[in-house]
Amino acid sequence: MTTIVKCPTCEKDVRWVPESRFRPFCSDRCKQIDLGAWATEKYKIGGSQQDTPPDEDSHSGLN
């Protein structure tokens, strides 16, 4: 009996066997894509978020 898992990246069926070297990914490519996604998430969390409030310029003509 062979366990079948789904590739986290492309959701293709991957057989959980020693020959599937990149399991749970179907290929090295999908593995790299997933790792890249993780790196991107890290940058998002660590990076400076632009949280500038909207321009409050409405009082320019109401004085």
Binding site residues, Zn ion, CB under 5 A? 7, 9-10, 12, 26, 30
| Residue 7 assigned to a binding site | yes
Are residues 10 and 26 in contact, defined by beta-carbon separation less than 8 angstroms? yes
Paired tokens of 18 = 């020693």
Q: Which is nearer to Zn ion, 6 or 42 (CB)?
A: 6
| Best CA proximity match to 35, nearest among 9, 10, 17 | 9
| Residue 10 assigned to a binding site | yes
| Residue 27 assigned to a binding site | no
Paired tokens of 47 = 């990076």
Q: Which is nearer to Zn ion, 5 or 10 (CB)?
A: 10
> Which residues are annotated binding-site positions for Zn(2+)?
7, 10, 26, 30
